Amino acid sequence: MLETTTHELMYKQDLQLTVAIKIAVLDTGFAYTNSEDKRALRPYYQRIKKFANFIEGGSDAEARTDPTGHGTAVAVQVLRVSLKAVLYICRVVSPGSGPDKSAVEKAIRKAAAKPDKGNPDGGGWGVDIINMSFGWPYHHEGVRQAINFARQNGVHLFAATSNDGLLGPPNDILYPARSESVIAVDAADGHGEHAKSAPSSTSQHSRGSRFSAPGLGITSPNRKDIWEGSSFACPIVAGVAALILEFVRQSPLNKSASVQNYVQEMPAMLALLRSMSSEKGPDGLKFLTPWKLIGIWFGGG
């Protein structure tokens, strides 16, 4: 439904965007070194604006590698949903280890800061959206402050909840997904049924800002692996948020400063995502069905 209906409505006429939606993907990197990856991923690679490695002692060239394939699969999901978005690939996870919290903090700040030609390093990238398909059990103060900085700059942040079901850590929704300033994403199947690996539906963490999207049977063009989990649902929701921003950046809405300021606010984004969600089951979990609202926007519903 996403590609056949949402894309048909959104892209039936060429979008006139003066500035593309910028999305930072914080993950393991993006595979683009060998000939096989280049053949499979070229259409996606052409929409990547920057590769950066935020792990201490690493080089930016390492962000063009992805031994696990996780970051590549995540990036591909974003680009499949939003056909006009551009990506900033941030390596914050090394093979065989979890996310480097210091690297995550630095990546968020670089992505969210505004460009500054007077700054020797050019300032930040001024992204609109940050995707974080990872998490850890407990709060981290440096990352919290970076998230607050991003929100002050109008950046929307999305993070995966957990893949441990009811067997996870005491805080069943991982950090940063359970931050009040981050939109949390669960995995579901293609019919909106909550995945067995998803955390408790009764969790109070992120209850008001928690959505689900397909996260089972996910593929990436450069590998035969089948991916599953909230890591791959998260970029789909981030991509839908990009579709919302694409819509409001078209004429005549792009001429309204109040509209542009409004969609940068988290309550506004949450309200829009809720309006394009369907609740399934007694818990009222919100499964994204964006074609419903987008159809109304374009007179198709």
> 48 and 86 in contact (C-beta within 8 Å)?
yes
Residue 3 scores a pLDDT above 80 = no
Calpha distance 287→273 (Å, rounded):
10
Q: What is the pLDDT of residue 254?
A: 85
- Average pLDDT for 226-254: 92
Question: Which residue in 265, 247, 114 sits closest to 183, CA to CA?
Answer: 265
The DSSP annotation for the chain comes to: -IIIIIHHHHHSS----SSPPEEEEEES----SSHHHHHHHHHHHTTEEEEEE-STT--GGGGG--SSSHHHHHHHHHHHH-SS-EEEEEE-B-TTS-B-HHHHHHHHHHHHSPB-TTSTT-B----SEEEE---BSS--HHHHHHHHHHHHTT-EEEEE--SSGGGS-SSSSPBTTTSTTSEEEEEE-TTSPBPTTS--TT--TTGGGEEEEE-SSEEETTEEEEE-SHHHHHHHHHHHHHHHHHHHTSTTGGG-HHHHHHTTSHHHHHHHHHHTEEEETTTTEEEE-THHHHHHHTT--
List phi, psi (to 5°) of 28.
-95, -5
Q: What is the rounded distance in angstroms from the CA atom of residue 230 to the CA atom of residue 194? A: 11
**Cβ-based neighbours of 82, under 8 Å, separated by 6 or more:** 21, 23, 239, 240, 242, 243, 246
Grade residue 6 by pLDDT with cuts at 50, 70 and 90.
low
Instruction: Identify the pLDDT of residue 167.
Output: 45
> For the residues 15-25, what does the mean pLDDT come to?
84
- pLDDT mean over 112-126: 91
Q: Could you give phi then psi for residue 132, rounded to 5 degrees?
A: -130, 95
Tokens representing 189 are 């199947």
Show the domains of the chain with their CATH numbers: 20-273 (3.40.50.200)
Mean pLDDT of 123-149: 96
What are the tens digits of pLDDT across the range 149-197? 999 999 999 999 986 544 455 557 899 998 999 999 998 877 666 655 5
pLDDT score, position 1: 57
pLDDT at position 128, please?
Answer: 98
Active-site positions read 27, 70, 231
What average pLDDT score do residues 221-233 get?
90
Mean pLDDT over residues 80-105, rounded?
Answer: 94
pTM for the model stands at: 0.91
Task: Answer yes or no: is pLDDT of 206 > 60.
Answer: no
Residue 300 scores a pLDDT above 80? no
Of residues 263 and 296, which shows the higher confidence score? 263
Q: 101-112 vs 141-152: helix axis angle to the nearest 10?
A: 10
* Axis crossing angle, helix 70-81 with helix 230-248, rounded to the nearest 10: 30
Closest CA to 54 of 115, 126, 105: 105
How many Å apart are CA 256 and CA 237, to the nearest integer? 25
Q: What is the pLDDT of residues 57-80, one digit of tens each?
A: 999 999 999 999 999 999 999 999
Q: What are phi and psi of 221, to 5 degrees?
A: -65, -15
For the packed helices 70-81 and 35-45, what is the interaxial angle rounded to 10 degrees? 30
Note the pLDDT of residue 166.
43
Averaged over 102-121, what is the pLDDT? 94
- Please tell me the distance from the alpha carbon of residue 74 to that of residue 76, in angstroms, as a whole number: 5
Residue scoring higher pLDDT (95 or 137): 137
Class of residue 142 by CB neighbours under 10 A (exposed 0-12, middle 13-18, buried 19+): middle
